[in-house]
Amino acid sequence: MGELDQYLFGQGTHYEIYKKMGAHFVKDGKKSGVYFTVWAPHARSVSVIGEFNGWSEDANVMKRQEPLGIYTAFVPEAQLGQLYKYCIETQTGDKLYKADPFANSAELRPGTASRIADISHLKWSDSVWMKHRAEWDFHSSPISIYEAHIGSWMRHPGREDEGFYSYREFAHAATDYIKKMGYTHIELMGISEYPFDGSWGYQVTGYYAPTSRYGTPEDFAYMINYFHKNKIGVILDWVPAHFPRDAHGLADFDGTATFEYADPKKGEHPDWGTKIFDYGKAEVKNFLIANALFWIEHYHIDGLRVDAVASMLYLDYGKEDGQWIANKYGSNENLEAIEFFKHLNSVTTGRNPGALMIAEESTAWPKVTGKPEDDGLGFSLKWNMGWMHDFTEYMKLDPYFRKGDHYGMTFALTYAYSENYILVLSHDEVVHLKCSMLNKMPGLGFEKFANLKVGYAFMMGHPGKKLLFMGQDFGQLREWSEARELDWYLLAEPEHQALQNFYRDLLHLYTHNKAMYEQDTCMEGFEWVNADDSSRSIYSFIRHSKGAKKNLLFVCNFTPIERPEYRVGVPRGKQYRLVLNSDELQYGGSGKARPAVYKAKKQECDGRPYSFGYDLPPYGVAVFEF
């Protein structure tokens, strides 16, 4: 660990610190071995213990480097794959046995040791993808994300272990599914190493290690490479908001608050029982920013979905009066977290054009996707939690009562262009007694499926990128659980297969029509035809491509009532070609024969000079191209 390395780490700007910290194979003179480096500024002493020295606390005592309190040791006997920890003697004489914060691999739970790995020679053959990514403009491109949890997507039946798919097996199976369906990206939950399956990966102990549940770092790299070769982007969930109290993790790392704020009013989440990173400490900021770069640059990840952003921005998040400390201006914004985000997003996207930084942020905080130089946070995209709430509340209503909440579905258009949004129906919406998407729907049998189809069509037509959690595209009945695979057997049932067919064709309609995505962030891309038909709960709107070369007209009926010759106003006396009809047999509809083309007449409707009539079925969706 050279003087320049220490200086940059102390400034918070050593963006490749992971190449220095942790365990790395090196040659020291004629000897080769492993060089261990750990930051423990308030430790009395540190030694590295492991399989290479019989877990002896005296065999490999580490040297302290000032001024930062970094400890180093060269161990010629250490071998690839061996387990190790740091034995940290605190100022009070206690001994802590900690996993390596910078370890590149970890022992499978319930074990808690780090594992010596060598990730300096990973094999990549995705140069075409990486070149494309650097030139890619996400604003005007389709993004439809398949959110997945590897451990519960699919499992091997009858095995004595948990039957998890390995990273390599998942790569092949998920790629086949994603390509068939038409998603552009996969977002993976819970990749950084974590001890408790029930946390889904949101309570991390190994920020620099892909979880060993599904294989080795080489297996993980193979998966990313395979997705890229099949033109599928990869997004990881990333958790810089908090970390668990597990004894082997980051909490009180050297016997003091090292990675977290020292004052529990700033450094602890009462609701979650976790610790909050100290965003004012240069070394902690460096740990996190370098970690984001590690995934994007070393593992070729295409984007990070940053979890629980609101909990970082607000000092009083999840806290009662007396449980938090105001900032120097007497308000509740975490000024250090704000600066952290500006630094993080400037560096990650500045160094990696085309990489996405996505905020899961649930409040009305301004300029989340604004530029840092304009006092924005610098994210590429933001989850639209407001739209998700309004959408699910409307969809749960009995159709008779939807007319009373008609404008709940149109409200999101009043702020749709204030940020770069992703419309999300994520794992959070199908757990904790919230029901699966299908079972949120009112009615029985056919009605549930028909409701969900019209809801999905409305979502796909609405401005914003798209995200759907696994299982919801074929109508998973049970809530999601990390402890079992999805109920794939449901696809043997015609109605589940029909729903999957419909969502598949919605995805293909989305990715193959520029009108659906290239003007997502400007008002020119969307136009209401009739947003006020509350008595019949019907919405009609147009998605415009640039230059109006090819546009799409959506008509969505949210009641079980058929509307013969439903008249819709259109801008020109042209022909309108039916390109998606939810009443087809393959979608579970009646299969009624319909004209392929409709000629608009000079007849005023919806405040427009031209219109045409269409037999709109119960819960019907019709999309026309013109």
CATH number for the domain harbouring residue 613: 2.60.40.1180
Give the pLDDT of residue 29: 79
By the 10 Å C-beta count (0-12 exposed, 13-18 middle, 19+ buried), 411 is classed as middle
pLDDT tens by residue, 474-508: 999 999 999 999 999 999 999 999 999 999 999 99
Place of tokens 């090196």: 26
Task: Answer whether residue 614 is part of any domain.
Answer: yes
Instruction: Give every CB contact of residue 493 below 8 A, 6+ residues apart in sequence.
Output: none
Is 143 a residue whose pLDDT tops 80? yes
Residue 160 has pLDDT above 80, yes or no: no
pLDDT tens column, 316-375? 999 999 999 999 999 999 999 999 999 999 999 999 999 999 999 999 999 999 999 999
Boundaries of domain holding 586: 523-625
pLDDT tens per residue across span 117-126: 999 999 999 9
In a domain, residue 344? The reply is no
Asked if residue 553 lies in contact with residue 530, where contact means CB atoms within 8 angstroms, the answer is no
Q: What is the DSSP string of 147-178?
A: EE-HHHH-B-TT-SS--BPPHHHHHHHHHHHH
Inter-residue contact 114 to 106 (CB < 8 Å): yes
Omega within 30 of 0 (cis) for the link into 142: no
Structural contact between residues 260 and 254, judged by C-beta atoms closer than 8 angstroms: no
Residue 506 parent element (H or E): helix 494-511
Separation between Cα atoms, residue 268 and residue 245, nearest integer Å: 10
| 109-to-54, 97, 205, 344, 359 alpha-carbon distances in Å | 21, 16, 11, 31, 29
The pLDDT tens digits for 604-623 are 999 999 999 999 999 999 99
Q: How confident is the model at residue 62 (pLDDT cuts 50, 70, 90)?
A: very high
Please write the tens of the pLDDT for every residue from 402-429: 999 999 999 999 999 999 999 999 999 9
- Confidence check: pLDDT of 1 > 90: no
DSSP 234-249: EEEEE--S-B---TTS
What is the pLDDT, as a whole number, of residue 27?
A: 84
* Per-residue confidence band for 158, with pLDDT thresholds at 50, 70 and 90: confident
The alpha carbon of 260 is separated from its chain's Cα centroid by a whole number of angstroms, namely 24
Average pLDDT of the chain to the nearest whole number: 97
488 falls within a domain: no
Kindly report, residue by residue over 434-460, the tens digit of the pLDDT: 999 999 999 999 999 999 999 999 999
CB-side neighbour CA atoms (13 Å) of 413: 18
Neighbours of 32 (CB within 10 A): 12
Report helix, strand or coil for 74: strand
- Under DSSP, the state recorded for 474 is T
469 forms beta bridges with 147
Residue 28 pLDDT exceeds 80: no
Which helix or strand (DSSP H or E) is residue 614 part of? Answer: strand 610-616
At 112 the pLDDT is 98
- Give the residue among 89, 123, 119, 79 at the shortest CA–CA distance from 103: 119
Task: Check whether 391 has a pLDDT greater than 90.
Answer: yes
Cα–Cα dist 401/344, whole Å: 46
Pairing of strands 83-89, 45-50: antiparallel
Tens of pLDDT, residues 185-195: 999 999 999 99
The DSSP code sequence of 593-606 is ---SEEE-BS--BT
Q: 205: closest CA among 73, 117, 85, 41?
A: 85
Contact 105, 115 (CB under 8 A): yes
**Strands, DSSP E only, in 156-230?**
185-188, 192-193, 206-210
Q: Could you give the maximum distance between any two Cα atoms of the chain, in Å?
A: 91
Residue 518 carries which side chain, given as an amino acid letter?
E
- Classify residue 337: in a domain, yes or no: no
What is the reported pLDDT for 161?
80
The residue with tokens 């998605």 is: 543
pLDDT tens-digit series, residues 47-59 = 999 999 999 999 9
Q: Which amino acid is at 520?
A: D
How many CB atoms are located within 10 Å of the residue 542 CB?
20
Give catalytic residues, as residue numbers. 307, 360
The pLDDT value given to residue 263: 96
Q: Is residue 544 part of a domain?
A: yes
H or E element: which one contains 95?
strand 95-98
Judge whether 65 lies within some domain.
no
- The answer to whether the beta carbons of residues 357 and 345 sit under 8 Å apart is yes
Q: Check pLDDT > 90 for residue 30.
A: no
* DSSP state at residue 333: B
DSSP secondary structure string for all residues of 238-299: E--S-B---TTSSTTTTSS-SSB-SSHHHHEETTTTEE-B-TTSHHHHHHHHHHHHIIIIIS
Beta bridge partners of 252: none
Residue 595 lies in a domain: yes
Tell how many helices (H) and how many strands (E) occur in the chain. 13, 28
Percent of the chain whose predicted confidence (pLDDT) is above 90: 97
391 domain-assigned = no
Cα dist from 198 to 33, 469, 536, whole Å: 37, 17, 44
In tens, the pLDDT along 259-304 reads 999 999 999 999 999 999 999 999 999 999 999 999 999 999 999 9
- Rounded CA separation 418/384 (Å): 11
Q: Residue 385: pLDDT above 80?
A: yes
Q: How many domains would you assign to the chain?
A: 1
- pLDDT tier, 85 (very low <50, low <70, confident <90, very high otherwise): very high
- Residues near 606 by Cβ (< 8 Å), separated by ≥ 6? 529, 530, 540, 568, 569
Give the amino acid at 582.
Answer: S
